[in-house]
């Protein structure tokens, strides 16, 4: 398999690193080599953050370069849009239909229009926040829901078992059930 | 052997623990903070001593004391930390260490979380004559840390482990021994007096320099054979070779694979001293060499010198193809290789989002929000605002936009003092509590002593927040979470000779208004301590309390 390149894009404080760790562990569980790169510090203060994740037979560089992502996981719609520079015509975008405003003069509608026109048919806008809030009463697990969506729709070459095992290994006992539920919930929705 | 996904910083902690480190000091910064924190989190359990020191100079000197007393030590800091501790770094090269010492310095190419400058700390290896190793990924971070202790103990020298953001914050499956670690610090060291060895008093200091130069010669011999430096790949194409180090090596490997090339690559794990002979041997059969290094062209210059000295006929490529600004990636290397090999370079088509930046922001409920707006509103037109390092440097971005200069830890006061002495303008310096303890105090004393009427605003949020919430001397808790004396900033300020001092909550706008206006008309230095706990910390404390109930 050619190395699979993922960009997780979101806003500092959205739990990108936990999601990154789950996918990395799942890739290792699936028998792949894996490398990731993340940023801490200043950018974590509600700024744009992205983590890079690559897995395959043998991975050297931890960075996904512009134009080379296979999958963009957008935890927020603006940041999903911002990640278009990592995309090529084949890149799949799985983006949480959730908007964290940051400038008065840009509306969610505008961003939506922008991302739809740049990504086109490769865009999957998923109501992850809304569904998690409604069905689990917790928006925080929307990123795990999004991951479930990718796995069950086979948009990421990882098996559900490898991912569930990774979730068990990484999430603390207290939140484990909730996260497992969020992951599996994505299987019951279309 | 164990195999786990580790962050580069975690791999360093693991390596050092396995090497038997028992004394750790440092100052938190990004991207190095998880190293110090990693030791502090396990200190009690593993029986080691660890601390957040008040600044990097103090941290280094503390570790020197431990090393002289026979304990293996580690010092951790971000790039600029080495500037702060350099005053003692140079004499340390002269005296050498007794027990092994590793100094971890984490640079931040592309300045992801650093103001100040895009510093390449490798230059310090030359300046101080301290051996420097440079891992490329977490696996090497683990292995090189252990090897660094071996070199340190073998030659009685400190060793600098230089990493960058993409090493520190890179994750991968790491194989490690995972032996049961019992370091048992428990004050087992002993300082055995040895004036000749530990005191740099002249004329002894020049003898020491001679000894140091001899030592470096020996380490050079060692470098020629060390497994830290390795050659991979074969010679099949156009007589081109590559020399690389650190994370740049990974980009080189990736680029070669994508281009389906198998070129010889010399990977330098030991940056200083360089194995001249080995490099020479590598270069001899080549016609062209690409030096792929991040930020400053140190290795390139060394290669140029070697080529000249040995009269080799060789074309050297480096800076003109690989930028000196910002971090590298595989695409930049592919570009360089394509140029050299005259292969057509296919630039990936990049769509730009042309979205405005989402700047980092103060957390909601952060006490700096009201403080910044009060400072802005109540200072007269034309007031100059000096920024400092920490969460408070966000005063420079929207919507606050009150920052007329930003330099290094503690500099808001001294630069402001210089402006006041040179002009008749008013200056407000804005600084956090952590920074005040780190480097603000001498600057404040200077402005009192030399009679400047600067107004220093100390934003006391009761923690060192920006780098991930580390303890500081104002908290009554140390890094190992033990109770310790709580140093009161207002008492320190008073002891520095400041007469106009007020502690105000940032929510008390009326008092802020009156005090700012009053203090800005004073003839002497004034200090307002705006005290309110960091909102993020408060949230966490509340959560913890709830969980404990
Ligand atoms: S971490 Fe604390 S001090 Fe820093 S911005 Fe957030 S609330 Fe303010």
Instruction: Decide: residue A58, CB within 10 A, 0-12 exposed, 13-18 middle, 19+ buried.
Output: exposed
Q: What is the pLDDT of residues B406-421, one digit of tens each?
A: 999 999 999 999 999 9
Question: Residue range B340-357: average pLDDT?
Answer: 89
In ligand 1, which atom is closest to the CA atom of B432? 3
What CATH topology corresponds to B368-541? Rossmann fold (3.40.50)
- What's the confidence (pLDDT) of residue B359? 79
Whether the ω angle into residue B363 lies within 30 degrees of 0, i.e. cis, is no
Asked if B2-225 and B368-541 have one fold, the answer is yes
Give every residue of chain A whose pLDDT is below 70, as ranges: 41-44, 104, 189-190
B169 Cα–ligand 1 center, Å: 22
Token pair, residue B440, equals 């603000």
Q: In chain B, what residues touch A82 (CB-CB under 8 Å)? A: 353, 355, 358
Q: Whose CA is nearest to atom 6 of ligand 1?
A: B363
> Are the beta carbons of A61 and A5 closer than 8 angstroms?
no
Token pair, residue A180, equals 């497992």
Cα–Cα distance measured from residue B515 to residue B215, given in angstroms and rounded to the nearest whole number: 59
In which band, very low, low, confident or very high, does the pLDDT at B302 lie, cut at 50, 70 and 90?
Answer: very high
What strand order describes the sheet that includes B384-387?
B405-406, B384-387, B427-432, B455-460, B526-531, B500-504
Whether the per-residue pLDDT at B214 is higher than 70: the answer is yes
Question: Residue range B391-417: average pLDDT?
Answer: 94
- The pTM of this model reads 0.96
Phi and psi at B492, nearest 5°, equal -65, -45
> Are the beta carbons of B64 and B93 closer than 8 angstroms?
no
Q: Whose CA is nearest to atom 3 of ligand 1?
A: B534
Helical H segments across chain A, by residue range: 16-29, 77-82, 108-119, 128-136, 142-152, 160-170, 173-188
Phi and psi at B316, nearest 5°, equal -110, 125
In which band, very low, low, confident or very high, does the pLDDT at B246 lie, cut at 50, 70 and 90?
Answer: very high
Cα–Cα distance measured from residue B260 to residue B356, given in angstroms and rounded to the nearest whole number: 38
Whether the per-residue pLDDT at B305 is higher than 80: the answer is yes
- What's the confidence (pLDDT) of residue B115? 86
Asked if B363 reaches chain A (Cβ–Cβ under 8 Å), the answer is yes
In which band, very low, low, confident or very high, does the pLDDT at B184 lie, cut at 50, 70 and 90?
Answer: low
A47, A61, A118 member nearest B359 (Cβ): A47
Architecture of domain B230-341: 3-Layer(aba) Sandwich (3.40)
CB pairs below 8 Å between A and B: how many?
141
> Are the beta carbons of B162 and B81 closer than 8 angstroms?
no
Q: What is the mean pLDDT of chain B?
A: 94
Optimal mutation site among B2, B350, B369, B535, interface A, most CBs of chain A within 10 A: B350
Whether the per-residue pLDDT at B150 is higher than 90: the answer is yes
Token pair, residue A159, equals 């098996």
Please answer yes or no on whether A34 and B173 come within 8 Å at the CB atom. yes
Whether the per-residue pLDDT at B162 is higher than 70: the answer is yes
CA distances to A52, B349, B362, B441 from B438, in Å: 34, 47, 22, 8
- What's the confidence (pLDDT) of residue B547? 72
Q: What is the pLDDT of residues B441-493, one digit of tens each?
A: 999 999 999 999 999 999 999 888 888 889 999 999 999 999 999 999 999 99
Decide if the complex's ipTM is over 0.85: yes
Ordered structural domains, chain A, with CATH: 4-188 (3.40.920.10)
Question: Residue range B180-188: average pLDDT?
Answer: 68
- What's the confidence (pLDDT) of residue A48? 86
Q: What is the pLDDT of residues B84-142, one digit of tens each?
A: 999 999 999 999 999 999 999 999 999 988 889 999 999 999 999 999 999 999 999 99
Count CB-CB contacts under 10 A for residue B364. 9
> Are the beta carbons of B420 and B501 closer than 8 angstroms?
no
Q: What is the pLDDT of residues B259-287, one digit of tens each?
A: 999 999 999 999 999 999 999 999 999 99
- Alpha carbons within 13 A on the beta-carbon side of B410: 18
What ranges do the domains of chain B cover? 2-225, 230-341, 368-541
- B2-225 — its CATH code? 3.40.50.970
Cα–Cα distance measured from residue A46 to residue B84, given in angstroms and rounded to the nearest whole number: 30
Between B221 and A104, whose confidence is greater? Answer: B221
Count of positions (residues) in chain B: 549
**Residue % of chain B over a pLDDT of 70:** 98
């Amino acid at each position: 398999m050619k190395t699979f390149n993922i960009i997780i894009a979101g806003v500092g404080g959205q739990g990108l690193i936990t999601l990154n760790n789950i996918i990395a562990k799942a890739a290792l569980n699936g028998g792949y080599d894996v490398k990731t790169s993340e940023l801490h510090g200043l950018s974590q203060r509600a700024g744009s953050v992205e983590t890079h994740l690559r897995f395959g037979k043998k991975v050297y560089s931890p960075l996904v370069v512009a134009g080379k992502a296979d999958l963009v996981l957008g935890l927020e719609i603006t940041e999903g849009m911002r990640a278009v520079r990592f995309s090529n015509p084949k890149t799949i975008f799985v983006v949480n239909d959730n908007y964290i405003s940051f400038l008065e003069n840009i509306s969610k509608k505008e961003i939506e229009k922008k991302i739809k026109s740049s990504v086109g048919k490769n865009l999957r806008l998923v109501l992850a926040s809304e569904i998690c809030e409604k069905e689990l009463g917790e928006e925080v697990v929307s990123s795990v829901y999004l991951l479930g969506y990718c796995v069950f729709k086979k948009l990421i070459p990882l098996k559900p078992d490898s991912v569930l095992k990774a979730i068990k290994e990484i999430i603390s006992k207290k939140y484990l059930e909730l996260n497992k539920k969020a992951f599996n919930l994505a299987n019951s929705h279309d | 052997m164990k195999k786990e996904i580790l962050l580069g910083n975690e791999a360093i902690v693991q390596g050092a623990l396995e090497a038997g480190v028992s004394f750790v000091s440092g100052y938190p910064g990004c991207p190095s903070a998880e190293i110090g924190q990693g030791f502090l989190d396990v200190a009690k359990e593993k029986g080691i001593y660890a601390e957040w020191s008040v600044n990097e100079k103090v941290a280094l000197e503390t570790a020197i004391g431990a090393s002289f007393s026979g304990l293996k030590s580690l010092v951790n800091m971000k790039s600029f930390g080495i500037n702060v501790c350099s005053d003692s770094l140079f004499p340390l090269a002269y005296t050498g260490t007794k027990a092994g010492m590793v100094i971890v310095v984490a640079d931040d190419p592309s300045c992801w979380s650093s103001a100040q400058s895009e510093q390449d700390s490798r230059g310090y290896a030359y300046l101080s004559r301290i051996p420097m190793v440079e891992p490329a990924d977490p696996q090497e971070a683990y292995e090189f840390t252990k090897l660094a202790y071996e070199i340190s103990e073998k030659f009685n020298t400190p060793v600098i482990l230089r990493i960058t953001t993409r090493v520190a914050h890179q994750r991968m499956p790491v194989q490690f021994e995972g032996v049961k670690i019992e370091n048992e610090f428990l004050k087992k060291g002993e300082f055995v007096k040895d004036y000749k060895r530990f005191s740099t008093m002249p004329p002894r200091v020049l003898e020491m320099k001679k000894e140091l130069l001899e030592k470096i010669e020996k380490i050079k011999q060692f470098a020629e054979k060390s497994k830290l430096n390795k050659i991979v790949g074969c010679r099949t194409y156009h007589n081109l070779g590559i020399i690389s180090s650190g994370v740049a090596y990974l980009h080189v490997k990736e680029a070669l694979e994508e281009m389906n090339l198998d070129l010889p690559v010399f990977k330098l794990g030991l940056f200083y001293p360089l194995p001249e002979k080995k490099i020479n041997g590598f270069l001899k059969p080549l016609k062209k060499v690409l030096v792929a290094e991040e930020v400053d062209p140190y290795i390139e210059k060394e290669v140029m010198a070697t080529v000249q000295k040995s009269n080799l006929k060789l074309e050297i490529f480096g800076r003109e193809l690989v930028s000196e600004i910002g971090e590298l990636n595989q695409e930049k290397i592919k570009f360089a290789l394509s140029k050299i090999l005259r292969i057509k370079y296919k630039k990936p088509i990049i769509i730009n989002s042309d979205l405005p930046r989402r700047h980092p922001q103060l957390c909601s409920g952060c006490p700096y929000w009201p403080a910044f707006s009060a400072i802005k509103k109540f200072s007269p037109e034309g007031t100059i605002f000096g920024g400092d390092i920490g969460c408070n440097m966000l005063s420079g971005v929207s919507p606050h936009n009150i920052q007329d200069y930003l330099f290094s830890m503690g500099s808001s006061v001294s630069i402001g003092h210089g402006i006041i002495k040179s002009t008749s303008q008013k200056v407000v310096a804005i600084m956090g509590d952590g920074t005040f303890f780190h480097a603000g105090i001498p600057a404040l004393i200077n402005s009192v002593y030399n009679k400047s009427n600067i107004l220093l605003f100390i934003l006391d949020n009761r923690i060192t927040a920006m780098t991930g919430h580390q303890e500081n001397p104002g908290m009554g808790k140390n890094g190992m979470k033990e109770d310790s004396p709580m140093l009161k900033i207002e008492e320190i300020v008073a002891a520095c000779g400041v007469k106009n001092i007020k502690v105000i909550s940032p929510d008390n706008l009326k008092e802020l208004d009156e005090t700012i206006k009053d203090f800005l008309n004073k003839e002497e230095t004034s200090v307002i301590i705006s005290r309110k706990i960091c909102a993020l910390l408060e949230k966490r404390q509340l959560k913890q309390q709830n969980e404990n109930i």
